[in-house]
Amino acid sequence: MAEYNRTVIVRKIGLKEARYKLAKDTGGYSATNLYACSDTIVMLDSYSEFVVVDTSTGNISSGKCSGSPIYLGVFDGGGSKPWSFYPASQRPETKLVMRGG
């Protein structure tokens, strides 16, 4: 994912590459929390935009997973700071709140 034009890309051997454009973020700072919903389903939470990825099929869709997802970490970056993934052991779960106005 990149700062302003953020796209989720799933690449898996044997599957066609899948892409999903997240809402544009022009705030200069952005983050996206990653959650496990099951062994093959993950969910991204990007400031109240939710996206579900089925890692077994490569299917990406808008929506939330059911049940109690497990926080795995956060994709974080913006400005001069490159996008990186930080596992839950390095960055505890933080509710994402839009900054500025």
How far apart, in whole angstroms, are the C-alpha atoms of residue 59 and residue 78?
27
Q: Is 40 exposed, middle or buried (0-12, 13-18, 19+ CB in 10 A)?
A: exposed
Query: Per-residue pLDDT tens for 11-62?
Result: 999 999 999 988 776 565 678 899 999 999 999 998 768 999 999 999 999 9
How far apart, in whole angstroms, are the C-alpha atoms of residue 74 and residue 63?
18
pLDDT of 84 higher than 80? yes
Give me the pLDDT at residue 100, please: 55
**Which is nearest to 62 in space by CA: 75, 44, 47, 76?**
44
**Which is nearest to 7 in space by CA: 23, 28, 31, 29?**
23
